[in-house]
């Protein structure tokens, strides 16, 4: 898709959070009404005929478009959160990162076998968080799982998409 308005409004912060990383700041897209409309319209067109019943928003920037798109599609929102943030009984999935281990959690009653699920997050880089979320959703054995990101980073030798071979994955912007 690579809408030029989205690309032009995406801020890049060199050497954040550490030297050598070019951080892509999606908040510049969220603060623009034009960008929000473009992102929501593009995501709606991608998923309007897929029968989505739940959107899993990944903490925390994934919550924003998950809620907006769910309202447009007429479906529910499920939160995939960092440990200790959800109040009821959870299932969890841990994954390795370059500086240690992290975990995502979801409530055990979030999804059922009749659901068609879209996992949404803001950015695909290494894919660790998204894969952990995908494994959590798979635990519920839904009818179908889709994955969507606003931005996919490939220009720094990152190949997060490779983790999702055979899984329906879309991005709005590839850098």
Residues marked active site are found at 61, 98
- Count of CA atoms in the C-beta half-sphere (13 A) of 140: 28
The DSSP bridge partners found for residue 10 are none
Q: Identify the helix (H) or strand (E) that includes residue 144.
A: strand 144-152
Enter the DSSP assignment of 26.
Answer: T
Q: Are 3 and 38 in contact (CB under 8 A)?
A: yes
């Amino acid at each position: 898709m690579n809408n030029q308005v989205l690309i032009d409004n995406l801020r890049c912060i060199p050497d954040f959070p550490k030297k050598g990383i070019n951080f892509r700041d999606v908040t510049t897209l969220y603060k623009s009404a034009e960008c929000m409309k473009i992102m929501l319209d593009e995501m709606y067109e991608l998923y309007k005929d897929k029968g989505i019943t739940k959107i899993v928003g990944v903490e925390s920037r994934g919550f924003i478009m998950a809620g907006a798109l769910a309202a447009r599609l007429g479906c529910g929102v499920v939160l995939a959160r960092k440990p200790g943030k959800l109040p009821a009984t959870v299932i969890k999935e841990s994954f390795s990162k370059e500086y240690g281990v992290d975990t995502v959690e979801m409530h055990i009653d979030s999804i059922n076998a009749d659901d068609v699920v879209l996992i949404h997050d803001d950015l695909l880089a290494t894919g660790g968080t998204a894969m952990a979320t995908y494994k959590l959703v798979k635990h519920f054995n839904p009818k179908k799982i889709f994955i969507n990101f606003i931005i996919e980073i490939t220009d720094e030798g990152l190949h997060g998409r490779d983790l999702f071979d055979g899984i329906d994955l879309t991005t709005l912007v590839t850098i």
